[in-house]
Amino acid sequence: MTATVFTEALHPCAFLVNEGPGFESRDTVTVAANQTIVAGQLLGKIGTPASEATTVAYPASNTGNGALTVSAIGASAIDGVYTVELDTAGATGVFDVVDPTGAIVGAGKVGTAFAGPISFTLAAGGTAWAVGDLIQITVARPLSADVYEAWSPVATDGSQVAVAIAAYPITTGSATGKITAITRRAEVRLSDLTFASGATQTQINEAMVALNKQGIVAR
């Protein structure tokens, strides 16, 4: 007699230990085309650059009083605060650009156009920039413009940052689709989560840190 072995897929929301009251922890999200998502899979968020907006802030503790002008938002830009930090002083001072995850995404020079996830020019003012001066660039897009993909730590389109967990499975074809996802304030079972194929333990740990920022705790 031949036995048939069936493997039961993870049920929708089975990874959840607890969540906020009502629908506090959940959102209906748009999944990009050509995606196969299973319940419990980590999701990253991409967006349409034309739908994004930036605001620039200058901490009061700065010495320099120049201005930063954003010229473009790239497809790899992610939501959050980018920080420009001066490493050397003066009208041609050198700076680093740090993304919302804390990663350095490039270096530039005052007065010279910087090209990266965000393209901009930092100009010198009447008072020169000093070492340690900061400029903060907040990137945001309206919720209606968000599109989600399977989390991929090697991506450069924004999906390299884990921001949600698929509550239900979905397979999309040439068009986008919608599912419910856990996007905030929840406790989940780590062993029931699905990560990108080939992800290292370090990358998974970084994804867990990113989810923690959303109030999602994996145990």
pLDDT digits (tens, 9 = 90+) for 41-57: 999 988 655 567 889 99
Mean pLDDT of 8-15: 82
pLDDT at 74: 81
- The Cα-based distances of 198 to 134, 154, 180, 207 in angstroms read 37, 10, 26, 14
Residue 160 and residue 206: Cα distance in Å, rounded? 10
pLDDT at 60: 96
Q: According to CATH, what is the number of the domain 16-47+146-218?
A: 2.40.300.10
**Closest Cα to residue 159, out of 213, 210, 119, 212?**
210
% of the chain with per-residue pLDDT over 90? 74
Cβ neighbours for 202, distance < 8 A, ≥ 6 positions apart: none
Res 1 pLDDT > 70: no
Res 13 pLDDT > 70: yes
End-to-end CA distance of the chain: give it in Å, rounded.
42
Res 126 pLDDT > 80: yes
Burial of residue 120, with CB atoms counted within 10 A of its CB: 0-12 exposed, 13-18 middle, 19 or more buried: buried
pLDDT at 56: 97
From the CA atom positions of the chain, what is the Rg in Å? 21
In the chain, where the domains are located: 16-47+146-218, 50-140
pLDDT at 11: 85
The residue whose two tokens read 């922890």 is 25
pLDDT at 29: 93
pLDDT at 77: 81
Res 31 pLDDT > 60: yes
Q: Residue 31 corresponds to which tokens in the numbers above?
A: 């999944």
Q: Residue 54 corresponds to which tokens in the numbers above?
A: 């930036």
Looking at every residue in the chain, the average pLDDT score rounds to: 91
Per residue in 65-104, pLDDT tens?
999 999 988 877 888 899 999 999 999 999 999 998 888 9
Per residue in 160-184, pLDDT tens?
889 999 999 999 999 999 999 999 9
Q: Residue 122 corresponds to which tokens in the numbers above?
A: 């930092």
Question: pTM (2 decimals)?
Answer: 0.66
